[in-house]
Amino acid sequence: MHILALLRNRFATALQGWVDDYEQYLSLITSARDPQHGDYQANIAMPLKNVLGKPPREIAQQIVDRLEVSDICAEPEVAGPGFINLKLKDEFLTQQLTKVITDERLGVQAAEPARTYVIDYSSPNVAKPMHVGHIRSTVIGDALTRILRFVGHKVISDNHLGDWGTQFGMIIYGYKNFVDPAAFSASPVEELSRIYRIIQSVIGYQSAIAKQAAAEAAIQTAEDAVVSAESMPADDKKRKKQIKAAGRGLRNAQENLQGIEEKIAAVRSDPKLLEIAEQHADLQTRCQLETVKLHEGDEQNLGLWKQFLDISIEEINAVYQRLGIEFDFTLGESFYHPMLAAVVKKLRQVGLAVENDGAMCVFLEEFDAPMIIQKRDGAFLYSTTDLATIDYRLQEFSPDALLYVVDHRQSEHFEKLFAVGRKMGLEDIELKHVSFGTVLGKDGKPFKTRSGAVIGLEHLLDEAVERAYQVVLKSQTSRTDAPGMDESEMRQVADVVGHGAIKYADLSHNRTSDYEFDLNKMVQTEGNTSAYIQYMVARIKSIIRKGEVDTSFRNAAELSISIGHPAERALILHLLQFEDTLEHCLEDYMPNILTGYLYSVAKAFASFFDQCPVLKADSQEQRSSRLAICFGTARVLEQGLNLLGIDAVERM
Ligand code: ARG
């Protein structure tokens, strides 16, 4: 049920022919924050004050006089400086809920017109261990795909794998020089990740050595700055500020040096690493050369690349499978490699790309630095691949929108990419970087394990499932109303709850913010967690089982819903806002709007269930009405979880 759209339409009719450009005011009709002021409110009269040259209260009254909502609402009220408060009629609520319950799609109408979206998400750089940072893109992208599809759009999901980057040069070099063949055949993923870490440490070490002297000198300079700030005359107004700034400078310099020293110590304390570092001077360049050879089609490197790629893909597929993630396409960067020269040529021909200092660049008015699409040595870049990808997607899918679910550090890349896209004539296509923040550890820094390695994803999923199991076990032994599950059912539930917890925690944070990864919090059955919602669904299902009603409601005649309590009314109103929520969620691709909604439905249900007896209702009619409301609630919650890629359980 699209209540907001319905009300906005009625207001549109009231304003038409009276107020110019009335459409702009319709977004000021919203659901009411405070239920005391009704269910919806329209704050239209105030901004019309200057347009119509009348006091807002008078305008509000005029709007009300023109407004035809008597089939939906009680008589609208004008309040305060000119708010219009709307309260839906109970009869309308029960009618609409009947429609929702008896409809396959919960009353959600198919989007008109349906659009075609290409959504680029997950897209990890493979051949490095997957880590928690990869979760966000995967989970957000999957939820958006599901929601867009549910409301009737066509969605093409594409996993733009980083399968052609410099990490391959690293493992190719490492493999050629220090693979342990027995370890490789026993567990190729682990051996490759060991090789990758060796290369990373040694490159880190060598570049740290190169920077060490300068970093030490910077400390001296920073200390001098502190001394000179402190020796400023006490009455100098700038003194305090300078001392602060110098202090900050010194701390930064110290942190920088500390980082460098740690990298050096890590290798010095390990004789094997040290030996590698000494035998393979300038390792970074050596690895880069392997990447270049790969890109030039060297047969041996191509063979190794293919072998490593298959291994990595198998590894990430295991994660996708656990998370229930599927893509329509997995067209990685390597797929576009043969098209890159043509992209550069085309941009040159239309005069967008010009040579600058040997490199091919696209200059954009909005940016100081150009977008480089081919380096002096002939190598193509990440941007070149993304330009080729756009071309390909346009040709193959004729999309209305291209969404990129990628972390916020790539904002500038996408701003430039879209600017070039628009110059190439993509004005009518929505180009959107659905960006997201960082997953943080307890220390407020990007999430890492104690050893400092970014934590492996599979391990993290196992951990979440294990903690979920502990929570389920505890609740089974401590609750009097526990369903009495056996070990295998508890394991099954823990699996659903654990995976759901990781997804929900991610989706429930505004995607643009960073959030702290806290496994213990995520699996709790209280608060804004998936476990709370899953628990509520299981509770409702148990009530319905005990109620012994046939829930195959498919026609309205079988249902007679009534409202006998404010908590009951509040719950129904919530249930009817599902469609509005999905629309709101898609306005700026914010899954947390859906999680917030599900949480509030679950809370509204808890409060209803607290105050309104269901199985022991006053009358048979009330009992079946309330059972139907329970049923509707379970369906909305379950459907909502499903759109987030999260399952529900029958008992918990
Ligand atoms: N592989 C990239 C990374 O891990 C993300 C790719 C995003 N998609 C794109 N079309 N650029 O940073």
The answer to whether 647 touches 500, Cβ cutoff 8 Å, is yes
Residues 473-524: pLDDT tens digits? 998 888 888 888 999 999 999 999 999 999 999 999 999 999 999 999 999 9
Q: For residue 191, what pLDDT band results from cuts at 50, 70 and 90?
A: very high
Mean pLDDT, residues 172-201 taken together = 94
Note whether 264 and 136 are same-domain residues. no
CA dihedral (17, 21, 26, 28) in degrees, to 10, reads: -120
Over residues 330-360, the pLDDT tens digits come to 999 999 999 999 999 999 999 999 999 999 9
CA of 416 to the centre of ligand 1 (A): 15
Question: 382 C-alpha vs ligand 1 centroid, how far in Å?
Answer: 8
CA–centroid distance, residue 160 to ligand 1 (Å)? 6
Q: Give 121 Cα–ligand 1 centroid separation in angstroms.
A: 8
3-class DSSP assignment, residue 588: coil
- In the 3-class helix/strand/coil scheme, how is 411-447 assigned residue by residue? HHHHHHHHHHHHHCCCCCCEEEEEEECCEECCCCCEC
* Claim to verify: residue 147 and residue 172 sit in the same structural domain: no
Do 598 and 485 belong together in one domain?
Answer: yes
Tokens of 54: 């009348």
Pocket residue to mutate for ligand 1, from 118, 164, 386, 406, most atoms within 8 A of Cβ: 406
pTM of structure: 0.92
Interior angle at CA 88, CA 84 and CA 91, nearest 5: 155
Query: Which helix (H) or strand (E) segment is 453 a member of?
Result: none
Q: Are residues 293 and 261 in the same domain?
A: yes
Strands 40-42 and 401-407: unpaired
Residue 173 to residue 152: CA distance in whole angstroms: 48
| Termini Cα distance of the chain | 30
Instruction: Look at ligand 1, atom 6, and give the residue with the nearest C-alpha.
Output: 123
Inter-axis angle of helices 166-178 and 299-323, nearest 10:
110
* 162 CA from centroid of ligand 1 (Å): 6
Probe ligand 1: pick from 410, 411, 416, 457, max atoms within 8 Å of CB? 410
The reply to whether ligand 1 has any atom less than 6 angstroms from the CB of 120 is yes
- Distance in Å, CA 404 to ligand 1 centroid: 8
Q: What is the CATH number of the domain that holds 47?
A: 3.30.1360.70
Is the CB of 414 within 6 Å of ligand 1?
A: no
| Arithmetic mean of pLDDT, 560-574 | 95
Residue 602 lies in a domain: yes
Task: Quote helix, strand, coil % in the chain, to nearest 5.
Answer: 60, 10, 30
| Atom in ligand 1 nearest the alpha carbon of residue 417 | 11
Cα(405) to ligand 1 centroid in Å equals 9
| 616 in any annotated domain | yes
Peptide bond into 113 cis (omega under 30): yes
Q: What pLDDT shows up at residue 480?
A: 85
Q: Is 141 in the pocket of ligand 1 (CB under 6 A)?
A: no
Calculate how far, in angstroms, residue 508's C-alpha sits from the geometric centre of ligand 1: 23
DSSP β-ladder status, 359-362 and 353-356: antiparallel
Query: Is any ligand 1 atom within 6 A of the Cβ of residue 162?
Result: yes
Same structural domain, 476 and 584 = yes
Interatomic CA distance for residues 23 and 15, integer angstroms: 9
Number of alpha carbons in the 13 Å side-chain half-sphere of residue 99: 14
Q: Is the pLDDT of residue 25 over 70?
A: yes
Any atom of ligand 1 within 6 Å of the Cβ of 124: yes
Q: What is the C-alpha separation between 423 and 401, in angstroms, rounded?
A: 17
Q: Is residue 317 part of a domain?
A: no
Please identify, by atom number, the ligand 1 atom nearest to the C-alpha of residue 382. Answer: 11
**Helices (H), strands (E): how many in the chain?**
24, 13
Pocket test for ligand 1, best of 123, 415, 417, 418 (most atoms within 8 A of CB): 123
In the reported structure, the alpha carbon of residue 433 is separated from the centroid of ligand 1 by a whole-number distance in angstroms of 11
CA of 135 to the centre of ligand 1 (A): 13
Q: How far is it, in rounded angstroms, from Cα 361 to Cα 369?
A: 9
Atom number in ligand 1 closest to CA 161: 1
Distance 125 CA to ligand 1 centre (A): 7
Ligand 1 atom closest to residue 414's alpha carbon, by position in its atom list: 11
DSSP state of 76: P
Do the domain assignments include residue 103?
no
pLDDT tens, position by position, 354-398 = 999 999 999 999 999 999 999 998 899 999 999 999 999 999 999
State the chain's mean pLDDT as an integer.
Answer: 94
Contact 434, 139 (CB under 8 A): no
Q: How far apart are CA 627 and CA 624, in angstroms?
A: 5
Distance 406 CA to ligand 1 centre (A): 6
Q: What percent of the chain has pLDDT over 70?
A: 99
* Whether 149 and 199 share a structural domain: no
Under the phi-then-psi rule, with left for phi > 0, alpha for psi from -120 to 50, and beta for the rest, what region is 621?
alpha
pLDDT higher than threshold 60 for residue 402: yes
3-state SS record for 327-359: CCECCCHHHHHHHHHHHHHHHHHCCCEEEECCE
Binding site membership of 123 for ligand 1 (Cβ less than 6 Å): yes
| Domain range for 355 | 116-162+324-440
Give pLDDT tens digits for 300-331.
Answer: 999 999 999 999 999 899 999 999 999 999 99
445 domain residue, yes or no:
no
Same domain (yes/no): 289, 344? no
> Reduced to 3 states, what is the DSSP secondary structure of residue 517?
coil
Distance 533 CA to ligand 1 centre (A): 33
Does residue 109 fall inside a structural domain? Answer: no
- Domain of 132, CATH number, reads 3.40.50.620
Largest Cα span, the chain: 87
CA 305 – CA 303 distance, rounded (Å): 5
Do 542 and 617 sit in the same domain of this protein?
Answer: yes
Q: Which residues pair with 374 in a beta bridge?
A: 360, 380
**Neighbour order of strands in the sheet with 77-79:** 29-31, 40-42, 83-86, 77-79
The domain spanning residue 472 has which CATH number? 1.10.730.10
Ligand 1 centroid from CA 142, angstroms: 16
Q: Determine whether the shortest distance from the Cβ of 386 to ligand 1 is under 6 A.
A: yes
> Are 511 and 630 in a shared domain?
yes
pLDDT band at 449 (very low <50, low <70, confident <90, very high): low
Q: Is 101 among the domain residues?
A: no
Domain co-membership, 214 together with 65: no
Of 312, 347, 377, the residue at which a domain comes to its end is 312
- Distance from the alpha carbon of residue 455 to the mean position of ligand 1, in angstroms: 20
Is residue 160 within 6 Å of ligand 1 at its C-beta? yes
Domain boundary among 252, 280, 312: 312
- Residue 401 — pLDDT band, cuts 50, 70, 90? very high
The reply to whether ligand 1 has any atom less than 6 angstroms from the CB of 125 is yes
Ligand 1 pocket residue status of 404, Cβ below 6 Å: yes
> Which protein residue's CA is at the shortest distance from atom 11 of ligand 1?
386
Same domain, 509 and 598: yes
Q: How many domains does the chain have?
A: 4
pLDDT for residue 454 is more than 70:
no
Ligand 1 atom with least separation from CA of 124: 4
Q: Is residue 456 part of a domain?
A: no
Residues 22-42 have a mean pLDDT of 92
Nearest ligand 1 atom to alpha carbon 404? 8
Same domain for 389 and 414? Answer: yes
The token pair at 414 is 């996408």
Q: Which of 422, 440, 458 is the last residue of a domain?
A: 440
C-alpha to C-alpha distance for 272 and 178, rounded to whole angstroms: 11
